[in-house]
Amino acid sequence: MIDLDTHRIRHCGQSQFQFPRMRLLPLLIAAAFGAAAVGARAQSGPASSATSDPAATTEPSSDSGRRGDKPATATPQTLDTVTVTVTRRREPVREVPLQVSTVSAEKLQDAGASSLPDYLADQAGVNVNSGLTVGNATVTVRGVSTGPETAPTVGTYIDDVSFGSNSAYGFGGVMSLDMGLMDLHHIEVLRGPQGTLYGAGAMGGMLKYVTNEPELYDFSGSVRLGASSTREGQSGSTVGGVLNVPLQQGVAGLRISAFHDEVGGFVDSTGPIVGSDLDRRKATGGRVALLLQPTRNLRVKLTAVSQETDVAGKNLVQFNFATHQPLVNDLTRDLVVREPSKTKIELYAADVEYDFGWARLNSVTSSQKAKLAQRFDGTAIYAPLLAGAGLPVASVAADTAVDVQKKTQEFRLTSQGKSDLEWLAGVFYTDEQASNGQQLGATFPGGAPTPLLLASSIPSKYTETAVYGDVTWKFAPDLSATLGARLSRNRQTFSQNTDGLLVGGPTSRTNDSAETSSTYLATVSYALNNTSNIYFRAASGYRPGGPNVVLTNPATGALLAPTTFESDSLWSYEAGYKADLLDKTLSIESAVYHIRWDQIQQLFAASGVSVIVNGGKAEINGAELSATLRPSTSLDLNAALSFNEGELTESAPGLAPAGAGLPNSARFSASFGATYKFSAGGHAAFVGVSGRYVGERNSGFEGSPSIPNFRLPAYSLMDAQGGVDLGRYQLAAYVRNLFDKRAQLGADASGVPLGGPVGVAMARPRTVGVTLSASF
């Protein structure tokens, strides 16, 4: 596949950021780590956590004192009980034997978060690479990344629906869902492989968007208006609304939401294209959900989601590779061709549930579409090459258009009732059709177009059938164990059709492959007492294998690269400690983990074309600590700390030698938050601050022959929020990047070998905003 975002010909069309070189340190035992310090998941501590299970509850609400509650007092108050369904059962998060963070959508709105990098910014150990274009991102968890991804390492779900492509040819690795916050309840972040319950691609973790369900008894609604201003940039605005209508009380309810966000840009340009704030963004979306409960045992939820994001340009600044200094200045770049990008998603889903009493049957059906169209200014990289070949050009533009259509069907049967033996069994099927069109065009001085340089069309198909299940045996009231497995069979086909001056005329190749993969899960959980647990978890995950371009030596006919690549897989071993202490005013979660990654999927150049090959091994060691403290009803404190170091333990041909640190993860990262609630004129009010620290990272591998490593410095950012509840109206204000730091979030150095600059994504300058909400 031709990668028009870089100087190379590659199988996928979006280069990614990459991160740091690290050395191993001894693991800390979970219990000792949990008792050693107090910290917590910022934004995630006592977040209210209603789930896709309609029976799921959270008591009390995590926003006590912020939405019409009585003024806070100085007496202690217990933390909220957070309930999640990550194990496909409704369980308190403290009793789930894995690390789960929940991020409240309401808190994100109050804090002015506008995109996926903002949503997960305070999640220590989680990295979001925006691909230098908002709305087009790669998410990595616990450092499971090689930089440019062949397929995603983190799965994505909307409620119970698997979203996005798991194929290397469906852009699943760089099209992580960037969903609008309107009518979203919260986001769940699962750390570690989830391959048994959630299948392919969830080898590093999973991201789950949990929406609000229709209410069957009360008519209600809300409207939200917002405005923001970015220093040295444009202003922004947001408008959205939600309407809930019970069509028949207790039987049918309809919920409709819509939003339109405009986020101001802050990157300017010089050169042939002179402009200001080129990276401005618009996002428009809506959701309709219909809930039917015609009988006590039957419930049906029908959902439709649509969202479109338009970005005027990339939020990158060009840096000199040798000096690590901006070529123009920290918020200005040189631009010859404008770089617009558009992403559009559609999802239609039916979730049917029937309660037999002894078990619950779920049928989840979905049909979804994802489209990406973007342009890249390739003048700095391609123009010198073309001039050397006798074709002087003034500009070069690379266009990519991806269209993925996916259908899924899942049946799941889950045991119910009080028993020492719990079980779950399911069947999953998906069918993906994808097209990937790429074109390289140029103009002569004066604006006349050149002959077509390159055009590539890559249609592909991916199908997968899987069966899975697990069994939990409660040996004693305080001891339980779970065993699970998943068996998957996938088949992929694709064609690569190319034409143009750079490939010497039209060519066409087709290839297919099939593969069977399996994943496993084993956990042991022991309750130290009624409020604390320890657990051990061993789990595996994988990414599916597939076909390659068939490359042969024109003289001998010998194959230059494998015609297929295999799945890569990893095993994660984790020990954790979770506890509610001090009369449930302090919550602590900690974990240590060891990951072994084998048969790593990577890009390998053969005769000028990059294919996917398997090679190399890696190990990752890490530790996580999070805690939430509520010393009184007036004050909430939370913090989080993540340590992660990973390196190749076996050389990966064409990627890096053994000992090279894995990218996309800082060795140390941390976050904290504090919220103080008080009474202002008889109205509940709050103020809060939050901050995050991310250590040094590499943009690639040390010693890599393909992409030079650009080291990104550590950074720290601070935010502030405040608001007041006026009854029917709620007013909130925020400041993001309070001290206006110029943090470098990610980098792309793929064009450096051919004389191009490094593209560095900068943190948004100080942004001040206000939101007004009205409910009825």
pLDDT confidence of residue 2: 42
pLDDT confidence of residue 758: 87
pLDDT confidence of residue 80: 65
Distance CA 499, CA 438 (A): 11
- The DSSP result for 288-345, as a single string, is EEEEE--SSSEEEEEEEEEEEEEESS--EEEE-TTT--BSSBTTEEE-SS---EEEEE
pLDDT classification of 563: cutoffs 50, 70, 90: confident
Distance CA 313, CA 277 (A): 9
pLDDT confidence of residue 131: 57
pLDDT confidence of residue 653: 77
pLDDT classification of 175: cutoffs 50, 70, 90: confident
Distance CA 681, CA 287 (A): 37
pLDDT > 70? residue 19: no
pLDDT confidence of residue 561: 78
pLDDT > 60? residue 376: yes
pLDDT confidence of residue 81: 64
When mean pLDDT is compared across 85-89, 450-454, 629-633, the lowest value belongs to 85-89
- The DSSP result for 72-139, as a single string, is P-SS--PPPB-EE-TTSS-EEGGGSSS-EEEEEHHHHHHTT--SHHHHTTT-TTEEEE-TTSTT--EE
The per-residue pLDDT of the chain, averaged, comes to 85
**Phi, psi for residue 148 in degrees, rounded to 5:** -65, 115
pLDDT confidence of residue 133: 55
Distance CA 760, CA 643 (A): 24
Distance CA 763, CA 20 (A): 19
Distance CA 603, CA 202 (A): 20
Secondary structure of residue 196 in the 3-state scheme: helix
Class of domain 30-224+232-269+284-775: mainly beta
**Phi, psi for residue 95 in degrees, rounded to 5:** -95, 0
Percent of the chain at pLDDT > 90 equals: 58
Taking the CA atoms of residue 698, residue 589, residue 107 and residue 138 in that order, the dihedral angle to the nearest 10 degrees is 30
Q: Is the separation of the CB atoms in 314 and 335 below 8 Å?
A: no
CB within 8 A of 769, min separation 6: which ones? 112, 226, 227, 228, 229, 236, 733, 734, 735, 736
Identify the top-confidence range among 376-385, 518-527, 540-549: 518-527
pLDDT, one tens digit per residue, over 220-243 is 999 999 999 999 899 999 999 999
Percent of the chain at pLDDT > 70 equals: 87
**Phi, psi for residue 380 in degrees, rounded to 5:** -65, -25
Q: Among 241, 280, 288, which Cα is nearest to 260's?
A: 241
When mean pLDDT is compared across 128-132, 482-486, 625-629, 640-644, the lowest value belongs to 128-132
- Residues composing the chain: 776
What is the rounded end-to-end Cα distance, in angstroms, of the chain?
53
pLDDT > 60? residue 443: yes
pLDDT classification of 606: cutoffs 50, 70, 90: low
When mean pLDDT is compared across 255-259, 318-322, 342-346, 714-718, the lowest value belongs to 318-322
pLDDT > 60? residue 102: yes
Q: Among 283, 280, 254, which Cα is nearest to 267's?
A: 280
pLDDT, one tens digit per residue, over 385-435 is 888 888 899 999 999 999 999 999 999 999 998 889 999 999 999 999 999
pLDDT, one tens digit per residue, over 185-219 is 999 999 999 999 999 989 999 999 999 999 999 99
pLDDT classification of 609: cutoffs 50, 70, 90: low
pLDDT confidence of residue 37: 34
pLDDT > 60? residue 65: no
Q: Is the separation of the CB atoms in 583 and 76 below 8 Å?
A: yes
When mean pLDDT is compared across 155-164, 432-441, 459-468, 558-567, the lowest value belongs to 558-567
When mean pLDDT is compared across 30-34, 186-190, 598-602, 718-722, the lowest value belongs to 30-34
**Structure token pair of residue 117:** 């990098």
Q: Which whole number is the average pLDDT over 532-538?
A: 96
pLDDT confidence of residue 261: 95
Q: Among 127, 239, 27, 104, which Cα is nearest to 673's?
A: 104
Secondary structure of residue 736 in the 3-state scheme: strand
**DSSP structure class, residue 183:** T
When mean pLDDT is compared across 60-64, 168-172, 181-185, 471-475, the lowest value belongs to 60-64
Q: Which whole number is the average pLDDT over 625-653?
A: 93
Distance CA 595, CA 665 (A): 14
Identify the top-confidence range among 87-101, 350-364, 450-464, 504-518: 350-364
pLDDT > 70? residue 349: yes
**Phi, psi for residue 485 in degrees, rounded to 5:** -155, 155
Distance CA 281, CA 297 (A): 45
Q: Is the separation of the CB atoms in 176 and 205 below 8 Å?
A: no
pLDDT confidence of residue 535: 97
CB within 8 A of 312, min separation 6: which ones? 265, 278, 279, 280, 281, 338, 340
- The DSSP result for 467-530, as a single string, is EEEEEEEEEETTEEEEEEEEEEEEEEEEEEEEESGGGTS-EEEEEEEEEEEEEEEEEEEEEEET
pLDDT, one tens digit per residue, over 125-150 is 998 876 555 556 788 999 998 877 77
When mean pLDDT is compared across 78-87, 101-110, 114-123, the lowest value belongs to 78-87
Q: Answer with the residue of higher pLDDT: 382 or 267.
A: 267
Q: Which whole number is the average pLDDT over 574-600?
A: 95
- 608-633 per-residue burial string, b: 16 or more CB within 10 A, e: under 16: ebbbbbbbbbbbbbbbbbbbbbbeeb
Distances (CA, A) of 262 to 83, 411, 453: 33, 40, 36
**Structure token pair of residue 424:** 């779950």
CA angle 24/30/33 to nearest 5° reads 80
Distance CA 616, CA 650 (A): 5
Secondary structure of residue 621 in the 3-state scheme: strand
